[in-house]
A = this chain, B = another copy of it.
Amino acid sequence: MSTINVISTSKCFGGDQLVISHDSTSLGCKMKFSIFLPPKSKDGKCPVLYFLSGLTCDEQVFINKGGAQKAAATYGIIIVGPDTSPRGCNIEGETDDWDFGVGAGFYLDATQEKWKKNYNMHTYVTQELPCFVNANFPAIPDRVAISGYSMGGHGALMLALRNPGMYRSVSAFAPICNPMNCPWGKKAFSGYLGPDIETWKEWDATELVAKYKGPPLMFLIDQGKEDQYYKEKQLLPENLTNACLANKFQCITRYQEGYDHSFYFVKTFIEEHIKHHSEILNS
């Protein structure tokens, strides 16, 4: 287990908003993540919500702009916010594009030579990070939920589908629902996974719905109707809805009138998502 370094800590809504750094073995670099500890965690262990961020985000954006701390304090939920990719691995070209490489890890384990040593965000988020969190913070290891935004929204759906039983509750804000059929996803999957489209299906939520054989799970998704990327067909929520219908997988997608892809949309609905997760995690 690597050493824990507390980068910052600030009291917030009676709890504590921390930023932590540690050495990650699955990613081969130093990583930062945020963790909010609700007041209730001073008296005992609490359930954990992992929140995965979108393209270009680091560990700071969600805790600054997401507005999640009040609801997390109210409902007694720990929120962990990982970074969106490895950092500082000095892979040639990794910082050239905002939608590939640094800030754009897509929560998968890369198979291509250039990326496979470091770009293993799936292993990091589902294995290494929870071990580290459970060892260092008052988290209940088997009461875990996952949510995310945009690329991280897909991460939440995909990780839950690939790891049956790991997450009791799943939600997403404006997720990239079917990456292998949108420009962002095609670019990322080609780079990290290579040209064989069959391998892409293992990392695409819409494809994975048909293969899911775990305990009953439900997706709660909010999607703004004025979201620029929704209009540009980067998100494709209809494809996921159709896959869920065909496979009797419960998915509630709420199309929110007037909302765009910004954190003003996330702020608006985050409390409802945390309340939703809390009801399942505490039941």
Residues of A within 8 A of B (CB): 10-14, 17, 64-65, 67, 69-70, 224, 226, 258-260, 262-265, 267-268
Report the nearest B residue to A10, measured CB to CB: B264
Q: Which residues of B contact A70 (CB under 8 A)?
A: 67, 267-268
Q: Do residues A268 and B64 form an inter-chain contact, with CB atoms below 8 A? A: no
Complex Cα spacing A257 to B129, Å: 31
Report the nearest B residue to A13, measured CB to CB: B268
3 interchain residue pairs of minimum CB distance? A12-B264, A10-B264, A11-B258
A259 CB to nearest B CB, Å: 5
Report the nearest B residue to A256, measured CB to CB: B11
Q: Do residues A265 and B64 form an inter-chain contact, with CB atoms below 8 A? A: no
Q: Do residues A264 and B17 form an inter-chain contact, with CB atoms below 8 A? A: yes
Copies in the assembly, this chain: 2
Q: Do residues A11 and B259 form an inter-chain contact, with CB atoms below 8 A? A: yes
Q: Which residues of B contact A268 (CB under 8 A)?
A: 11-14, 69-70
Complex Cα spacing A12 to B256, Å: 11
A41 CB to nearest B CB, Å: 15
Q: Do residues B226 and A12 form an inter-chain contact, with CB atoms below 8 A? A: no
Q: Which residues of B contact A259 (CB under 8 A)?
A: 10-11
Q: Do residues A265 and B10 form an inter-chain contact, with CB atoms below 8 A? A: yes
Complex Cα spacing A67 to B73, Å: 15
Complex Cα spacing A259 to B12, Å: 7
Q: Which residues of B contact A11 (CB under 8 A)?
A: 224, 226, 258-260, 264-265, 268
Report the nearest B residue to A225, measured CB to CB: B11
